[in-house]
Amino acid sequence: MLDDRVILVTGGTGSFGRCLAEVVLAQYRPRQLIIFSRDELKQREMSLAFGTDRYPCVRYVIGDVRDRDRVYRALDGVDIVVHAAALKQVPIAEDNPLEAVKTNVLGSANVIDAAIDRKVCRVIALGTDKAANPVSLYGATKLCADKLFLNADRSAGRGATRFSVVRFGNFLGSSGSVLPLFQRMRPLGLLPITDPRMTRFWVTLPQGVGFLLSCLQGMRGGEVFVPKLPSMRVVDLAKAVAPGCPTKVVGPRPGEKLHEVLISQDDAPQTLEYEDRYVILPAFPEVRANGDRDRTGGKPCPEDFRYSSDHNPWWLSVDQLRAMVGALA
Asked whether residue 242 is domain-assigned, the answer is no
How far is it, in rounded angstroms, from Cα 138 to Cα 50? 31
Q: Is residue 165 part of a domain?
A: yes
Separation between Cα atoms, residue 285 and residue 292, nearest integer Å: 10
The answer, yes or no, to whether residue 290 has pLDDT greater than 80, is: no
User: Residue 298 is part of which domain span?
Assistant: 6-169+204-228+263-305
Q: Taking phi first (over 0 means left), then psi (-120 to 50 degrees means alpha), and beta for anything else, what does residue 48 get?
A: alpha
Q: Does the pLDDT value for residue 315 go beyond 70?
A: yes
Give the span between the Cα atoms of 248 and 149, in whole angstroms.
41
The model's pLDDT over 96-147, given as tens digits with 9 standing for 90+, comes to: 999 999 999 999 999 999 999 999 999 999 999 999 999 999 999 999 999 9
Query: In the predicted model, what is the mean pLDDT of the chain?
Result: 92
Q: Note whether residue 189 is domain-resident.
A: no
Total structural domains within the chain: 1
Residue 215 resides in a domain: yes
Domain-located, residue 80: yes
Q: What is the pLDDT of residue 30?
A: 98
Task: Give me the catalytic one of 42, 88, 119, 130.
Answer: 130
- pLDDT tens digits, one per residue of 29-85: 999 999 999 999 999 999 999 999 999 999 999 999 999 999 999 999 999 999 999
Q: What is the CATH number of the domain that holds 148?
A: 3.40.50.720
Instruction: Judge whether 102 counts as a catalytic residue.
Output: no
Is residue 116 domain-resident? yes
Residue 57 lies in a domain: yes
Quote the pTM value: 0.94
Kindly state whether residue 325 falls inside one of the protein's structural domains: no
CA distance to 104, 182, 198, 250, 277, per residue, from 193 (Å): 28, 9, 9, 6, 30
pLDDT tens string 76-89? 999 999 999 999 99
Overall average pLDDT of the 203-219 stretch = 95
- pLDDT at position 177 is 78
